[in-house]
Amino acid sequence: MHRRLALWLFAILCIATPAAAQDKGHNKFSVVATFSILGDLVKNVAGERASVRTLVGPDGDAHVYAPSPGDAKTLTEAKVIFANGLGFEGWITRLVKASGTKAPVVITTRGIKLRRADGAHKHGDKHAHEDADPHAWQSIANVKTYIANMRDGLTQADPEGGAVYASNASAYLAKLDALEQEVRDAVGAIPAERRRIITTHDAFGYFNAAYGIDFVAPQGVSTESEASARDVARIITQIKRQKIPAVFLENVSDSRLIKRIADETGAKIGGTLYSDALTAESGPAPTYLDMMRHNIRTLSAALMS
């Protein structure tokens, strides 16, 4: 029985594979996302129907990315482009223009209630929207809006796939609901007076607003500007005064500053948080869901001990 099934499968594969492979290359709807987190989210909505390419890959820092001529070519091949907006990928508008692509650019943060970037490190730009903190994906509730914007953007560009995108989106929304509950439970288990940590750059403002862990960072909402000596001194004083238990590294930031702060204050290094980029497949945060779970586990381990 088993052998017959195997033979049958083999025959089907022999007939079907070459044609299917060809179809795949030709018919797949081509989608581009600006950075790894967005790429993973779009893949979940697009499913098998589209091929998703990402400009800034794993562990890459989109704040300071320098696009290549290959990126312009990638955009010309796309049917729709997904960006975070809010000045996160400051280079995207120029790249879209230079590439000559006809693909629409969907700003996936549209409709999200924005948090203003605080204080010292605002960009010099004149545009009011660039005063907003771009790291909206650090709140799972916001990611539900990203998913809805992706579903709508894909459907507009590829109406025939509408039902597929709607069903993929709702399946993923259920996973986000479960994740949100996990994060709330994990934060709830940390004693309130210990819910305060230091990270390199100010990427967790939405996380704090949603779940209540206070992140203090010497660098502003972009990794473009360096922390000033005054900001570092202010943070060292704050750690000592408030007895902040742990400091954290980030995959997209230079670790030397945090190591220095740990040395000078005696705060322990609690591990690495993933703020602006996923890891490669072999790392601890290859998807958005993995990233959020890794971050909350790392935070809990450092703050509960």
- Separation CA 72–CA 74 (nearest Å): 5
Q: Is 56 in the site for Zn ion (CB under 5 A)?
A: no
Q: How far is the CB of 221 from Zn ion (least distance, A)?
A: 6
The token pair that represents 212 in the structure block: 């209540």
Q: Which of 147, 257, 141, 248 is nearest to 203 (CA)?
A: 248
Q: Is 276 in the site for Zn ion (CB under 5 A)?
A: yes
- At position 43, the amino acid (one-letter code) is K
Q: Is 250 in the site for Zn ion (CB under 5 A)?
A: no
Q: Residues in contact with Zn ion, total (CB under 5 A)?
A: 2
Q: How far is the CB of 301 from Zn ion (least distance, A)?
A: 23
Which letter, b or e, does each residue of 101-117 get, where b requires 16 or more Cβ atoms within 10 Å of its Cβ? bebebbbbbeebeebeb
Q: Is 203 in the site for Zn ion (CB under 5 A)?
A: yes
- Separation CA 183–CA 299 (nearest Å): 11
* CB-CB contact of 32 with 82 (8 Å): yes
- Taking the least distance from each CB to Zn ion, the nearer of 225 and 300 is 225
Q: How far is the CB of 288 from Zn ion (least distance, A)?
A: 15
- Taking the least distance from each CB to Zn ion, the nearer of 75 and 203 is 203
CB within 8 Å of 187: residues ≥ 6 apart:
195, 211, 212, 213, 296, 299
Q: How far is the CB of 88 from Zn ion (least distance, A)?
A: 7
Please list every residue from 133 through 172 that binds Zn ion, using CB under 5 A.
Answer: none
Q: Is 258 in the site for Zn ion (CB under 5 A)?
A: no
- Taking the least distance from each CB to Zn ion, the nearer of 40 and 276 is 276
- Taking the least distance from each CB to Zn ion, the nearer of 71 and 276 is 276
Q: How far is the CB of 219 from Zn ion (least distance, A)?
A: 9
For 49, which DSSP code?
G
Interface residues toward Zn ion, by CB under 5 A: 203, 276
